Chain A
Amino acid sequence: EPEVTQTPSHQVTQMGQEVILRCVPISNHLYFYWYRQILGQKVEFLVSFYNNEISEKSEIFDDQFSVERPDGSNFTLKIRSTKLEDSAMYFCASTASFVEKLFFGSGTQLSVL
């Protein structure tokens, strides 16, 4: 069964460093998302991406964050200068259309020291 894949599974970085989280959405999907989950809390929306541009973003998704679809298969989340509070599990998700089922990857655990 097709799945969303994310790499790396764990990322440890120093505060102030840039990180890039990578995702390969399901191949025929058109809508891509990043969510994050701080330990013990609910899943929070960061950004949605469709037709090579951001369609919605949350207050969390400030100027330090950016997304890119550099080729036909990858979807990346960049955090320019990480902060301690960026430590969380980051999930990529994709769906074929915006009212359809949303499928998640297994996440990247980001730890900012």
Chain B
Amino acid sequence: GQQLNQSPQSMFIQEGEDVSMNCTSSSIFNTWLWYKQDPGEGPVLLIALYKAGELTSNGRLTAQFGITRKDSFLNISASIPSDVGIYFCAGLPSGNQFYFGTGTSLTVIP
């Protein structure tokens, strides 16, 4: 299956700092989704991207669909303790099967 490389694998940051994470693929994707997952819960959709170059914001979160269509970035500005969780990217190459990244575990230190 498709491999989505997500980095970094984990991050420990101070409250108030900005966060950046990314996903890369060897294949072209048509849709990118970013999710946050809390322990024992299902992934919650944060941002959806549909076009190369698209930049979309959701509050303090901003995500971009890479120009090459092989990558996507998620930024969180001015992090707060409730941002703690695991962030997953998901991409749709073709067909209707979304592939998930390996996740970025975010810890925010108050």
Contacts and interface: CB of A to CB of B under 8 A. Distances in A.
Interface in A48-103: 48, 50, 55-56, 58-59, 89, 91, 98-103
A44 interface: yes
Given A43-B88, A91-B43, A102 B30 contact: no
Contacts of B98: 33, 45, 102
B59 interface: no
A72 to B, nearest CB: 21
Contact of A102 (B1, B45, B95, B101): B45
A104 B43 contact: yes
A2 to B, nearest CB: 13
A58 B92 contact: no
Nearest to B35: A104
Interface string A17-48: 00000000000000101010000001111001
Contacts of A89: 40
A35 B98 CA distance: 10
B96 A48 contact: yes
A43 B48 CA distance: 17
A50 B88 contact: no
